Amino acid sequence: MWVYINSEPGLWTVGFYSPDGKWNPESDWGMPDKAADRVHYLNGNNDTRIEHLESVLQLAQESRINELEMWRGNRPGG
């Protein structure tokens, strides 16, 4: 499993621990959110967080539109 650590002030290092406990660095990042994005990708989820949030927002908007259309259809004279 890929993880990130705050390896020094202002530096987050992505890597993994081997079974013998040895740290194996993969990349360094200046922002923890960028290191988290890299870990997320390396651990198998190739969607970026922004793409995921956009898809959640799209589903919420579609659900709200469906609710509104259903409500309009149930009104007298609607």
Q: What is the pLDDT of residue 4?
A: 96
Q: What is the pTM of this model?
A: 0.58
pLDDT digits (tens, 9 = 90+) for 68-77: 777 777 666 5
All residues at 6 or more sequence positions from 41 whose CB lies less than 8 Å from its CB, including other chains = 48
Report the phi/psi class of residue 33: left, alpha or beta, with left for phi > 0 and alpha for psi in -120 to 50: alpha
